[in-house]
Structure 1
């Protein structure tokens, strides 16, 4: 076509040729150049696939355990999906699923993850329960996310244990499986080799905790940073129910919040905050609550505690220095607010992240 264009010296003919080129349908191959995943030798993780799969919950399992992480070395997890029933299998959102393996993979896996189940009243196939019990007997870990707890409950392996699930399903789980003590407050619970978690996003907390147990705090923090989530969230499910998302944008409040986060060690009185927003103290207090759902004092305390967590995990500053850096002024004040909001003292929080040495990933 280029030669024809160059040889076309007549102006009209050249315009006709350009028009033909413009009308041509162009197909561009934008498929990425995918390289095979590096071979790893670590624990084999599988997540169940079934018709009506909860897409998000399967996705976070694949993200944590199935994503390429060459920085972790060859000892990192291996991951494959396992269909527990014949296809076609569809997931929420209209996806059709192609599994890596069938239910036989459950006989080999070191960690088996059950995403949210089809429904609280949907029976669990006995063949699946048998395979899960057999996996547990040979030492595999069983993990559930959200309503996946119903699947693990059906195996009987949670009888006499404390199990977590989404707060919406807690009463149904208690009624169907009275031998289980249902915890509707915690983000996740552990009973030996069996792990249960609350609503969908709480599965991320549990999976990162499993990474920490297997490979140490450094690896868990690395995974959390890549996911852009905290490596450890304190509190339980209730913290996500008490305050709705604010209906109003921060407006003039938002820039102030950014400044306060950068200068937590300063003295932030109501009159100073109001003046920086160009408001009267009364108007400021009303706008602040509209924007954040909190009083300025509560918001500032919460931000100081979060900043203290980061400094404590750094491991370089003493508790008194951390207290000064985030604006609490004294170690006593920091301990008081930290225990109230995080549920444990600063020193215990630091030990939680720094006591577990990194396991070599080889």
Structure 2
């Protein structure tokens, strides 16, 4: 059982805190070995939230006995840090323990220099300020979250859930992560490797795309082409490409390859297949194309991924 510290300071971000508590702290009757969580602070025991709610939080002076540190958010304006807090987080990082920030929580980690020369992200409305204050950080936009050197950063508020589900998936496997996502009524499929692009954001006004994307996902094991998607959507290829990228944020081909990689990851976690068979199962025409796209979206090879995450 991993012991998790959820570190808060004024003003406490209630939504992001709720995300952390819902995923990591809420008791799971069918998961006896779930995380053990403590809500903690270095800034006194009585804190006010961003919505004016007062919280009683245990004040601590030490973090090193915890296994995971979650920072749901942090002030983007206050540059002052307690020396004891700074020393504890830096020491925690030196032990290679996971540090997870939601939204503005990246400001705290970056202020301590732990993101220098690393990929990181935060909420888009803080992007300009973040880059101005921390020029040594490799800021990444258009992502849900980043992961480098055992430090995770999520983008805007709801991306905290995407990152949380990914942490659960790495700790407990794809099936349990899907169960948690289903209970939260969110998609379990917006996770990935180090570059977490939004995979299938479908605005309600584009119902044609919603049906086409669902149709395509169910046919990933066939040699599906972008022309087939355009035909299913009853659009010309040129018009389909233009409207798809405008609505989804990527080209149809990139989205299709990303979905094939997502399916390959699920198979690799539960079954041992030859690369040729895996490529065919997810609709890639050969193993070279499979390996290229897998590394592009996940950051490692299919075989390396299976070594880490196979649950069979």
**Deviating more after overlay: 123-132 vs 255-264:** 123-132
Within 2, Cα distance between the matches of 1:163 and 1:297? 26
In structure 2, the residue corresponding to 1:322 is in which secondary structure? helix
What's the CA shift for 1:122?
3.1
Within 2, Cα distance between the matches of 1:137 and 1:268? 45
Matched, 1:184 2:139: yes
Matched, 1:59 2:59: no
Q: Deviations over 1:30-54 (max 9, x none)?
A: xxxxxxxxxxxx4432222332112
Q: What does residue range 71-82 of structure 1 map to in structure 2 within 5 Å?
A: 71-73=30-32, 75-82=33-40
Within 1, Cα distance between the matches of 2:249 and 2:96? 44
User: How many residue pairs end up in the alignment?
Assistant: 297
Asked if the contact 1:246–1:290 (Cα under 8 Å) also holds between the matched residues in 2, the reply is: no
Q: What does residue range 22-171 of structure 1 map to in structure 2 within 5 Å?
A: 42-73=1-32, 75-86=33-44, 89-92=47-50, 94-103=51-60, 106=63, 109-129=66-86, 132=89, 136=92, 141=97, 143-145=99-101, 146-152=103-109, 158=114, 162=118, 164-166=120-122, 168=127, 169-171=129-131
In structure 1, the residue corresponding to 2:137 is in which secondary structure? strand
What's the CA shift for 1:66?
0.6
What's the CA shift for 1:78?
2.1
TM-score when normalising by structure 1? 0.64
What's the CA shift for 1:68?
0.7
Matched, 1:301 2:257: yes
Within 1, Cα distance between the matches of 2:250 and 2:266? 22
In structure 2, the residue corresponding to 1:344 is in which secondary structure? coil
Inter-CA distance 143–120: structure 2 relative to 1 (3 Å threshold): farther
> Gapped runs of 5+ residues in structure 2?
182-186
Within 2, Cα distance between the matches of 1:187 and 1:121? 24
Asked if the contact 1:116–1:144 (Cα under 8 Å) also holds between the matched residues in 2, the reply is: no
What's the CA shift for 1:187?
0.4
Aligned to 1:318: 274
The CA RMSD over aligned residues, in Å, is 4.1
Within 2, Cα distance between the matches of 1:255 and 1:187? 30
Asked if the contact 1:81–1:99 (Cα under 8 Å) also holds between the matched residues in 2, the reply is: no
Within 2, Cα distance between the matches of 1:318 and 1:254? 33
> Gapped runs of 5+ residues in structure 1?
1-41, 176-180, 358-362
Asked if the contact 1:83–1:99 (Cα under 8 Å) also holds between the matched residues in 2, the reply is: no
In structure 2, the residue corresponding to 1:303 is in which secondary structure? helix
Inter-CA distance 116–279: structure 2 relative to 1 (3 Å threshold): closer
What's the CA shift for 1:109?
4.5
